[in-house]
Amino acid sequence: SQQGEEDPQALSIQEGENATMNCSYKTSINNLQWYRQNSGRGLVHLILIRSNEREKHSGRLRVTLDTSKKSSSLLITASRAADTASYFCAPLGGSNYKLTFGKGTLLTVNP
Amino acid sequence: KAGVTQTPRYLIKTRGQQVTLSCSPISGHRSVSWYQQTPGQGLQFLFEYFSETQRNKGNFPGRFSGRQFSNSRSEMNVSTLELGDSALYLCASSPLGGVPNNEQFFGPGTRLTVL
């Protein structure tokens, strides 16, 4: 199975600002999932975007997927201190049976 | 619905001992996967169970084993513990077919420390 590569590795912003992180992958996918992990709430699924979708929204989250470029982006709008966490993408193809994470993007939202 | 629960949350063992960790998936979920997470290796897949059968297995030695019961609850066992087994062990449940078409719901994890 393949893993995504998140970029940047670290991002520090002020509360209220938007945060954008990117994910690149190598082979074709069925869907791509984003997860967040922090010490308070553990590892949490954020959003799943299928390969035939280009954009998806969930609350303050907006995910885009460009299969031609094999890339995805996660936008968090109006960030809050509670958004401080590591964010991981997981690109998944038809034969995948496991999640494989890269190093993630460490987002720090300063109050 | 209650989330995925894992017990115990924290565990301290010494080398050579064995340990059993437990995971209760979300009601109705039939797929349970186990992962080991360490700072150096990141998230690594251990195995997946579906309807009491091990469906997939990662690259871990035979000291790591698991099982799933008819109510979908799962246990994993590590025998002859080594220092390198110190990690956060995460259980994830998923409805029906699991990865790749479904999101994984993770438990809070069991923090195992081997002294």
The model's pLDDT over A76-89, given as tens digits with 9 standing for 90+, comes to 999 999 999 999 99
B100 three-state secondary structure: coil
Q: A104 is written with which tokens?
A: 């993630």
Lookup result for tokens 């996660």? A74
Q: How far apart are CA A24 and CA A6, in angstroms?
A: 7
Q: What is the predicted pLDDT for the residue at A59?
A: 97
pLDDT one-digit tens code per residue, B65-97: 999 999 999 999 999 999 999 999 999 998 866
A99–B99 C-beta distance less than 8 A:
yes
Kindly indicate the confidence band of residue A95, based on its pLDDT and cuts at 50, 70 and 90.
low
Using DSSP bridges, classify how beta strands B5-7 and B87-94 pair: parallel, antiparallel or unpaired: unpaired
pLDDT one-digit tens code per residue, B27-72: 999 899 999 999 888 889 999 999 899 988 899 999 999 999 999 9
Q: What is the predicted pLDDT for the residue at A27?
A: 86
CA B9 to chain CA centroid, Å, is 12
Kindly indicate the confidence band of residue A40, based on its pLDDT and cuts at 50, 70 and 90.
confident
Mean pLDDT of B9-22: 97
B100–A94 C-beta distance less than 8 A:
yes
Q: What is the predicted pLDDT for the residue at A3?
A: 80
Rounded to a whole number, what is the distance in Å from the CA of B104 to chain A's nearest CA? Answer: 7
Q: How far apart are CA B4 and CA A106, in angstroms?
A: 25
Q: What is the predicted pLDDT for the residue at A103?
A: 87
Rounded to a whole number, what is the distance in Å from the CA of A19 to chain B's nearest CA? Answer: 23
Closest partner residue to B42 (CB to CB) among A33, A44, A103 is A103
Rounded to a whole number, what is the distance in Å from the CA of B109 to chain A's nearest CA? Answer: 8
Q: What is the predicted pLDDT for the residue at A1?
A: 65
